[in-house]
Amino acid sequence: MALLNYSAFASLDGYIADEQGDFSWAMPSPEAHTLANELMEPIGTCIYGRRMYEMMTYWDTPEAIDEGSGIEYDFAMTWRAADKIVYSRTLAEVSTARTRLEREFRPDDIRKLKAEATGDIEIGGPTLAAAALHAGLVDQFALFTVPVVIGGGNPVFPPGLKLAWDLLDQRRFADGMVYARYRRKD
């Protein structure tokens, strides 16, 4: 059975974007980006909401391939090779290969996907991840904590969520960013 992973870059105060939607403070160093690439390698399917998908389509642009560093190029190639499912009621169509559009998030569909998938599954974006977390679908959580406090915005976890996690791995980077990966306690 495939694992459903939720990964996020977050501020010290627990936000993935500020109140204006800016997350430029979360750009990874080459060292952290290398780890993000490693975490992406076993992913066979990425699940996104509209906003996260629209942000991630950057990895399908010529700029990501032609102007990016070797690290960025590697991530773009891995991302392009993964299947993608976008959940949106407002998006008219998807613009990337290997991508399908779904109108409604159904936990049973994700359970079926986990049972049938040959690679792990990544869920991106806090709104969609909140639905998966509340449904008990997320198996692992990877957090890259950025040493900034932004004072508000889009939280990495939904309010009221209570889950216990076991620490699996942790790393500290030269720029002060800290990575920790957890498995949900059953």
DSSP string, 125-143: SHHHHHHHHHTT---EEEE
Residue 105 CB neighbour total at 10 angstroms = 18
The pLDDT tens digits of the residues spanning 72-126 come to: 899 999 999 999 999 999 999 999 999 999 999 999 999 999 999 999 999 998 9
Mean residue pLDDT across the chain: 94
CA dist 28 and 173 (Å) reads: 10
CB of 153 closer than 8 Å to CB of 19: yes
Per-residue confidence band for 149, with pLDDT thresholds at 50, 70 and 90? very high
Which residue is associated with the tokens 């627990």?
A: 14
pLDDT tens track for 27-53: 999 999 999 999 999 999 999 999 999
Binning pLDDT at 50, 70 and 90, where does residue 130 land?
very high
Cα distances (Å, whole numbers) of residue 9 to 103, 107, 141, 167:
26, 24, 11, 17
Tokens at residue 136, please?
A: 């008990």
Is the pLDDT at 161 greater than 70? The verdict is yes
pTM for this entry: 0.92
Q: Which CATH class is domain 4-8+24-184?
A: alpha beta
Q: Can you point out the beta strands (E) in the chain?
A: 4-11, 15-17, 43-49, 83-87, 99-102, 120-124, 140-146, 154-155, 165-172, 178-184
Supply 171's token pair.
């790393």
Name the residue ranges covered by the structural domains of the chain.
Answer: 4-8+24-184
Residues 6+ apart with CB under 8 A from 180: 142, 143, 145, 167, 169, 170
